[in-house]
Amino acid sequence: MNTTETTINTNTLDREVLGAVAAESLAKIDPARADAKRWTKAIAKAVIAIENNPFMSYDAATHSLLILSEQSGEIYTANGVCQCRAFQLGQPCYHRCAARLVAICLERMAR
Ligand SMILES: [Zn+2]
C-alpha cells in the first residue's frame, strides 16, 4: 500500500457498524457529567457528518480525521485535539467524536 492509499473517505464506512459504534459511545456517557448533554449532541452530529459531509476523510497513517466544516468553512484535523472554538473552550466537539467513531469503525471493519 502506498501512502496516498491510507486516506479513506468516511462516506464509504459501513453504516451498520457506524450505528453500532455510535450507540455504544452514547451508552458510555456518564449522565452525571456536567457536559453529558454536549457529548450526546456531539456524537449525534458526528454521525450525521460522517454519513453526509463529503469533505471528511480519515488518514490511517496519522490517525487523524480531516474535516471541512460547512459551518465555519475551515478545515479541522481532529485526533484527540482539535482547532475549533468548542475545543478551545474545553467543550466537546463533533470533530473529535467523529475522529474516534471513524477509528473504531475502521478497526471493526478490518477484522
Ligand atoms: Zn472540533
Q: Say if residues 42 and 94 touch (Cβ distance below 8 Å).
A: yes
Domain chopping of the chain, boundaries = 9-110
Q: Is the pLDDT reported for residue 11 higher than 90?
A: no
Q: Report CA(34)–ligand 1 centroid distance (Å).
A: 19
Query: Which residues have their alpha-adjacent CB atom under 5 A from ion ligand 1?
Result: 82, 84, 87, 93, 95
**pLDDT for the residue 1:** 41
Interval between CA 84 and ligand 1 midpoint (Å)? 4
Q: Which three cell numbers stand for residue 83?
A: 482547532
The pTM for the full model equals 0.88
pLDDT in tens, 92-105: 999 999 999 999 99
- Alpha helices of 29-66 — where are they, by DSSP H? 36-52
**Angstrom distance (rounded) from CA 12 to CA 28:** 25
- Whole-number Å distance, alpha carbon 82 to ligand 1 midpoint, is 5
